[in-house]
Structure 1
């Protein structure tokens, strides 16, 4: 387990080398764009100046933030369509909420066609930037960070779009979220790309959502790298059709610092990708390395639920053409005693082996493992929930799944491919 000094040293090193990573530097504007307006005044109470501008904005307006670090004590909100909120750069315009009063998010957006870009939000009491019911929203070249490192008192989510269609998150950096760095929930048509997530509990989480592409990201030093979940008793459920590809998912060994009771509090430290109770998930062309519990964990939802429409099992999952380095050498959490019983180490891919719930019949999970033979696999053979340890039957034999048709690439009306 990395100590806090090592964590801070890693963050400092990233800052020095950030020019080599995605998500850190916006390119110059191409010619032909409209002239930007003058920036807001940096004099006086900047929080009041900015909130007043957000309230008074006209649809389609660009609000330009000045360069500097600005101390804000109140959260911000935007409910005007088509607004672009733009700073001078992630390292140049910094909204610092260290003295925030109340526990809300730093910025809440509740309108469509909004673009947020080129600024940083740090040390919010609650979530960093949240959007709700905001279709065609763009998060671009943003940083959200809690500068004290992993701490259960940090805000839950860094970038947090929910209940939306056509969501674009690109070239974003998030550090220190006590739940998920980039979280997209109960949404449809999603792209998360070219971003860096580190020192969060979950790096990237796609939850109860449909049609998501997650690619070109670096997920490192989190508790778990990338999560695809479907949970019961939410307004939108039945998550499906997610592609996770061309990501670097490495060294996700940070201790789990989520507050007790959060669903991610059960994520074992050292997990690369977790797929839970979701359907038609394709994981391919990723690089996994040094995730100490397991590189990929496929599992069912294990808690009691009353949602009659909910299916707690993962279905139609494809793993193919991924690159697996060392890992699984120090399993954590609920995986630790299982690993101890099996010799102390877990292979790259672990499936809980659950294909039924309660008294219901067994279902076809359809797990397709199209990986090189040296990528180890283990079914824990748990059979069904509630678990009966006497029925546990571990097996290294890969299931004979039939790959479902891969979802089409996600296209968004407001973003080039």
Structure 2
């Protein structure tokens, strides 16, 4: 081997050594960042596993019943049941002193802050039953996903959210809750103009036996589509108030039928029975291609698709109700019981309207 060959071999060896040395930490980093699965046996502490999890991790619950609540404050975390056999959360007999979620009466809480929202959390394949307030409650979140959850027999809301954006609530079963099955709001503790939910969606859920199936309150840029709401006192509410801007939503391709359960009056609303879709204090909403049938009652809010002046004085304005099938509702299929301006009823299939002439 010549001196030149030896020199080239030495150079090549140095280059390879340098590359290997540089690549070592880089190659190790992805391994360190591999998401982990934290498995929880029935009855063990979910909160302990959640607290140990890092962004990207999954907390996987074995089938069984867990008498506890859990609070999620870590972004990009997944909490899920087995998806095969029921994974059920019910209230703890004696909540821990520092369990703020349980003390608020909730099953699962996903909470961030105004300056640091919790992002990218997924909750799926759980049953949340019998909590005094909500099965699942979230606040200050971005891109929360709630899927394949059964929320039943909770005192207030099945699944609820405030002060959040881009939430996606899909393929859940929500039944027998004291107020709304699914409840989305700007904020629950004060009057405030509607805020931009930035494309929040409620889709393909089955909602039955609640006071109101779905409530969208003081939000804009929300889509409610392809849900089934039946057996509630009212199927769906889009609610605004005197503040500006008012509520706005797109409500399309839902099946809203026989929401004829009777619910007593509250300080804000009369008794409910037989309401399909109700707009109160809404503007620029689109209600299209829904099937709204057999909603029958004698409440001021009874009927298939109803526009009703807000109980705090706000009218419905510039809403479009088009191409819906609205039949066998009472006291009317379409009812404009408001003094708002610019509301359009176009291409709907119906029999009775208030005032006459909209069918």
TM-score normalised by structure 1 residue count: 0.67
> How far is the alpha carbon of 1:103 from its aligned partner?
4.6
The answer to whether the 8 A contact 2:157-2:182 is kept is yes
CA contact (8 A) 1:201 1:257 kept: no
Cα distance, 1:266 vs structure 2: 2.6
Cα distance in 2 for partners of 1:122, 1:373 equals 39
Query: Which stretches of structure 1, 4 residues or more, deviate above 6 A after TM superposition?
Result: none
Compared CA separation, residues 372 and 71, structure 1 to 2 (3 A): closer
| C-alpha distance in structure 2 between counterparts of 1:54 and 1:35, whole Å | 13
Distance 1:188 1:35 in 2: 28
1:62 Cα offset (Å):
0.7
Alignment of 1:273-352 (within 5 A): 273-292=277-296, 293-303=302-312, 312-328=314-330, 346-352=331-337
Distance 1:98 1:253, change over 3 A: farther
1:11 aligns to what? none
Counterpart residue number, 1:131? 138
d(CA) in 2 for partners of 1:273, 1:91: 35
Q: Name the count of aligned residue pairs.
A: 298
Deviation at 1:350, TM superposition (A): 1.1
Given that 2:38 and 2:60 are in contact with CA atoms closer than 8 Å, whether structure 1 keeps it comes out as yes
How does 1:8-407 map onto structure 2 within 5 Å?
37=37, 39-42=39-42, 45-46=43-44, 49-72=45-68, 75-89=69-83, 92-97=86-91, 99=93, 102-110=103-111, 111-146=118-153, 154-186=154-186, 187-232=197-242, 238-256=245-263, 260-261=266-267, 263=268, 265-266=269-270, 268-292=272-296, 293-303=302-312, 312-328=314-330, 346-355=331-340, 365-372=341-348, 374-379=350-355, 396-398=356-358
SS of the counterpart of 2:312?
coil
SS in 1 for 2:183: strand
Determine helix, strand or coil for the equivalent of 1:177: coil
CA gap of 1:68–1:188, structure 2 versus 1, over 3 A, is: same
Taking the aligned partners of 1:64 and 1:316, their CA distance within structure 2 comes to 47
Question: RMSD of aligned C-alpha atoms?
Answer: 2.3
- The answer to which structure, 1 or 2, has the higher relative contact order (CA under 8 A, 6+ apart) is 1
Structure 1 residue ranges without an equivalent (≥5): 1-33, 147-153, 305-311, 329-345, 356-364, 380-395, 400-417
Distance 2:258 2:150 in 1: 21
Q: What TM-score results when the alignment is normalised by the length of structure 2?
A: 0.77
Counterpart Cα distance in 2 of 1:298 and 1:98? 42
CA deviation vs aligned residue, 1:131-165 (integer Å, no higher than 9, x gap)? 1010111011111001xxxxxxx521111121111
Could you say what secondary structure the match of 1:280 adopts?
coil
Cα distance, 1:268 vs structure 2: 2.5
Report if aligned partners of 2:162, 2:184 keep a CA contact under 8 Å in 1: yes
Larger radius of gyration: 2
Classify the secondary structure of the residue corresponding to 1:58. Answer: coil
